[in-house]
Amino acid sequence: MPRMGFRVGVLALQGAVARHADAVRLAGAEPVLVRRPQELAEVDALILPGGESTAMTKLLGVSELAEPLAERLGAGMPAFGSCAGLILLAAGLEPPDGRTRNYGAIDIIARRNAFGRQVDSFEEELDVPELGPEPARAVFIRAPWVVRAGPGVRTLATVAADGAAEPRIVAAKQGNILVTAFHPELTTDIRWHSLFLSMARSSSRC
């Protein structure tokens, strides 16, 4: 029997997996928890939640998802990475740490723990024209930021950082890849997930 609906995988190795799945459901798609290669093969798009990027790299290897994920991303699967997910989808890290796999799905260079450690976590209202006129509440927990973005990357949101001459990029998209340095799943605002679904569905029709 053919399956119905658009299926969005949530990488279920670390992070607020259930909160992402709830947001996907509210945004109008079927969430699928992805822990094994066969589950990854059955989804139309994938969310990579927050967590700890080096631990997630190890867990991807242990679960035998590392290479299937690289293959799906290389074949154009839409993906949304929040916090550690941003780091995994990035082209690289500055400084490089040699322990985190970067899948190069989006042309950005990221910095881990850029805003500080756990005690430096904060929330901020972001101006995000892509989401409409209402500000978006963002929860930053040991968050990265984007150090550099390639010419094909569209910046969606920035945050002023202490001592920085320019605001830091904390949300961006390129093609069917969306990344946020913060945790949209920890708020009741599903606009980021709705934006990702719109991007993913559009690319599936191309």
Is 117 one of the annotated binding-site residues?
Answer: no
Strand partners, 93: 110
| 44-79 tens-digit pLDDT | 999 999 999 999 999 999 999 999 999 999 999 999
Q: What is the mean pLDDT of the chain?
A: 93
Per the document, the length of the chain is 206
Distance (Å, rounded) from C-alpha 126 to C-alpha 192? 12
Q: How confident is the model at residue 165 (pLDDT cuts 50, 70, 90)?
A: confident
Is 51 one of the annotated binding-site residues?
Answer: yes
Distance (Å, rounded) from C-alpha 65 to C-alpha 37? 5
| 99-135 tens-digit pLDDT | 999 999 999 999 998 887 776 689 999 999 999 999 9
In a domain, 184, yes or no: yes
Distance (Å, rounded) from C-alpha 24 to C-alpha 189? 11
Average pLDDT over residues 196-201: 97
In a domain, 113, yes or no: yes
Distance (Å, rounded) from C-alpha 69 to C-alpha 100? 14
The whole domain housing 22 covers 7-204
Q: How many domains does the chain have?
A: 1
CATH of the domain at 77: 3.40.50.880
3-state secondary structure of 131: helix
Distance (Å, rounded) from C-alpha 175 to C-alpha 159? 23
Is 108 one of the annotated binding-site residues?
Answer: no
Which positions are catalytic?
83, 183, 185
The pLDDT of residue 116 is: 75
In a domain, 133, yes or no: yes
- Cis peptide leading into residue 95 (ω within 30°): yes
Strand partners, 136: 126
Average pLDDT over residues 80-93: 97
Is 53 one of the annotated binding-site residues?
Answer: yes
In a domain, 2, yes or no: no
**pLDDT(206) > 50:** no
Name the DSSP letter for residue 107. Answer: S
Is 141 one of the annotated binding-site residues?
Answer: yes
Residue for token digits 């191309």?
206
